[in-house]
Amino acid sequence: MTQLDFITVLPIAFLTFWVCALLLADLFIKRKGLTAVLAAVGLAITLGLTLMQVGRSALGFNGMLVLDGFSIFVQTLLLLSGLLGIALAYGYIRRMKIERGEYYGLLLFSIIGMMLMAQAADLIMVFLALETLSIPLYVLAAFARPNPDSEESGLKYFLLGAFAGGFVLYGIALIYGATGSTQLAQIISVVNLSGGFEGIYNPTLMLIGAALVLVGLGFKVAAVPFHMWTPDVYQGAPTAVTAFMAAGAKIAGFAALLRVFALAFPTLSADLSPVLWVISALTMFGGNLIAISQTNIKRMLAYSSIAHAGYILMAFVPFGDPKVLPVSVAAGLFYLVAYTLTNFGTWGVVIALEKAEGKGLEISDYAGLGRKYPALAAAMTVFMLSLTGMPPTLGLVGKFYLFRAVLEGGYVWLAVIGVITSLISAYYYLRVVVTMYMHEGEAQTEREFWLGLTTLGAAVLTVLISLTPQWLFILAKDAVLMLF
């Protein structure tokens, strides 16, 4: 391993060492809360190592991994998501009597896979990262054993995830057959018929392979029509796992989609952009329309998560236009930050109201929350407004940047669909607000320090960042995708 390789993989290597040591140390730790603290310390140190790489760019391991502004931005967001996930789980898994030290080890292993996904510059590495992040999530989804809902959730996620992984692998095989390489830089060189590769390229195989990769990654981000696993898995999995899964898996999946499609497949945009347009529109309509009929808050948020995948997909549609690409990538990254912050805050409120055996998860259970717990209800109101895209929240700013990028790409009707579906979403998001403030009830919540800090902190940041969002968008715009 060269010095360049070491610099490229340093944060991931450190976190891998830390989680292996954590699993061994956990054997001797009786109070599992200490395991949570050690896991958070490991993530914090890894975050520091990641931020030390700002401004660097490198290609390591013979072109398998890349270090650039994009990977650093995404990894920073993933590590912060991990810290928030630990904060939500700290009291929750103890309260639900599923406190086991391996929970945090699995969480960290999944984050390692997500970080690899952000740095992957080779399709083989994309697949390895996908499996590394997915396998711990399958186990975490079934973590509340012997709860049959949790076990069913893990099994469904595993079976459908393995099926989707097969699509990705088959797509990679076809791309290799079409170009003779799995490295993104080599693929684009072959496609452009440069560097002595003339006569190798097979555009038909390439297109089919790219479509299969899109199917597999579409499953990971829960885009329609690859979304059927989402509501059942979100409902059955422990809520702290659902919160992390809803954010982390989306960030990693969209990071891979952005890098692979923007760098390796820009010449396929004439064929794939219309497909992405349709998938984005169907995902926005499907998620929002089905969410209207839900009475369980976890299922409602699952369909909400599907809908937001559609909004983020809007940033991918103009991926073949080099003039619009920097703005659309920045808009996608900005919206991922807005969604992540809002997502953890929302699930924090859900965890606060959840009781054993799945009680407290109906929307009707939120009746009277505004009168009895005004701060928590105000936080939930902020999150519902942000998910809708209403002021004064970060969700509004995120949708503004997304719609602007789509309009600059010339996809006016997609922006119109985005506005219409946002209006539709207001019905079921504001229904929660109406229930909290206008319905009589005796809502009961759990008081936990880290849970409350995460929830209220997310609400404050959702409002404050929306007032001066330019700095965050500039950071996202500086997160440049680099092809070596």
pLDDT 10s digits, 277-293: 999 999 999 999 999 99
Q: What pLDDT is recorded for position 297?
A: 93
CB 248 within 8 A of CB 307: no
CB 280 within 8 A of CB 338: no
Q: What pLDDT is recorded for position 180?
A: 86
Chain CA centroid to CA 466, Å = 20
Looking at residues 74-102, what average pLDDT do you find?
91
d(CA 472, CA 374) in angstroms, rounded, equals 30
Q: Which two tokens stand for residue 455?
A: 């929830």
Q: What pLDDT is recorded for position 351?
A: 93
Looking at residues 441-460, what average pLDDT do you find?
87
CA dihedral sign of residues 168, 174, 178, 179: positive
List pLDDT tens digits, range 296-344: 999 999 999 999 999 999 988 888 778 888 888 899 999 999 999 999 9
Q: What pLDDT is recorded for position 239?
A: 93
List pLDDT tens digits, range 209-260: 999 999 999 998 889 888 888 999 999 999 999 999 999 999 999 999 988 8
Q: What pLDDT is recorded for position 41?
A: 95
Q: What pLDDT is recorded for position 370?
A: 87
pLDDT greater than 60 at residue 484: no
Q: What pLDDT is recorded for position 107?
A: 95
List pLDDT tens digits, range 215-225: 999 998 889 88
